[in-house]
């Protein structure tokens, strides 16, 4: 399906999968709202998109704040006159044992990986329903970036697992709710990806985490962005509900 003229909002767009997805969608002719906290990175990405002939809007926002998340959605929808695609890509992974993890790190993961997704999705759904009923595509899309950690639980990732298993259940229930509204919901679950996630792992576990992925050629953010683009390009009669993609050498 031709995506030219559609409008998207991508959270976590300042780096990694979010930035790669924004670039990919812009190349497909989508107007892209770039949402994250780091203004300098968003501005640089918007310049890159514009230089390539695309359209991007920078929205600096801490989406763990429900009012700011709703404001970001309204800003994108008002600027583009519609909202056809939502990509919930913002997230953080903080690994450590339950015995040693500070409670604020658990709270941080729940706030960004779950609550922020809920804030943005809640605000976006009415706009997506409206676009699905009026656009030539006849459909709108929510794509939630989860993880293999939403399928496989491992030591030291207790709350990260909680957030990703929770996202998976939320996405499936939301998919069923929005079927009559022609809003598709897809879950994309990458394995090891070359992003900043491991940079947030505590000093005591960072070396162990890196050893775990040593010898595994990671996915690139662009690989995940390609999967997102594949999902939203489908004709209205087709709904891709779930994509699991692992690095080729990954066993878990």
Please report whether residue 251 resides in a domain: no
Give the CATH number for residue 158. 3.40.50.720
| Residue 81 covered by a domain | yes
Q: Which two tokens stand for residue 213?
A: 């992925």
The alpha helices in 144-249, defined as continuous H runs, are: 158-178, 203-212, 221-232
Q: Is residue 204 a part of any domain in this protein?
A: yes
Return d(Cα 159, Cα 83) in angstroms, integer. Answer: 32
The total of structural domains in the chain comes to 1
Q: Which of 12, 22, 150, 160 is catalytic?
A: 160
Confidence check: pLDDT of 47 > 90: yes
Looking at residue 72, what is its pLDDT? 98
pLDDT at 214 over 90: no
**Cα 147 from Cα 161, distance rounded (Å):** 9
230 counts as catalytic: no
Supply the pTM of this predicted model: 0.93
Does residue 69 lie in a domain region? yes
Which range (55-64, 118-127, 198-207, 237-246) has the least confidence?
Answer: 198-207
Q: Which domain holds residue 111?
A: 7-245
> With b meaning 16 or more CB within 10 Å and e meaning fewer, what string describes 12-32?
bbbbbbbbbbbbbbbbbebbb
Phi, psi of 97, deg, nearest 5? -75, 155
| Residue 12 forms part of a structural domain | yes
Residue 64 placed within a domain: yes
Would 252 be classed as within a structural domain? Answer: no
Show the beta-strand stretches assigned E in 4-49. Answer: 7-11, 31-36
The whole-angstrom separation of Cα 199 and Cα 208 is: 13
């Amino acid at each position: 399906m031709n995506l030219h003229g559609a409008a998207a909002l991508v959270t976590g767009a300042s780096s990694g999968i979010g930035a790669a997805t924004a670039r990919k969608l812009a190349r497909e002719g989508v107007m892209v709202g770039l949402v994250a906290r780091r203004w300098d990175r968003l501005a640089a990405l918007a310049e890159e998109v514009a230089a390539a002939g695309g359209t991007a809007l920078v929205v600096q926002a801490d989406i763990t704040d429900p009012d700011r998340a709703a404001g970001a959605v309204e800003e994108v929808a008002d600027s583009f006159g519609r909202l056809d695609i939502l990509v919930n890509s913002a997230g953080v992974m903080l690994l450590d044992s339950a015995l040693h993890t500070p409670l604020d790190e658990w709270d941080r993961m729940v706030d960004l990986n779950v609550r922020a997704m809920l804030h943005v999705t809640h605000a976006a759904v009415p706009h997506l329903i409206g676009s699905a009923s009026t656009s030539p595509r006849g459909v709108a899309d929510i794509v939630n970036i989860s993880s293999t950690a939403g399928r496989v639980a491992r030591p030291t990732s207790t709350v990260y697992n909680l957030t990703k298993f929770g996202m998976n259940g939320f996405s499936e229930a939301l998919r069923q709710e929005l079927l009559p509204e022609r809003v598709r919901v897809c879950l994309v679950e990458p394995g090891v990806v070359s992003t900043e996630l491991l940079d947030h792992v505590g000093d005591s576990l960072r070396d162990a985490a890196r050893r775990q992925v040593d010898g595994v050629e990671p996915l690139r953010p662009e690989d995940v962005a390609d999967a997102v683009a594949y999902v939203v390009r489908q004709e209205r009669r087709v709904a891709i509900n779930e994509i699991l993609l692992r690095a080729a050498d990954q066993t878990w």
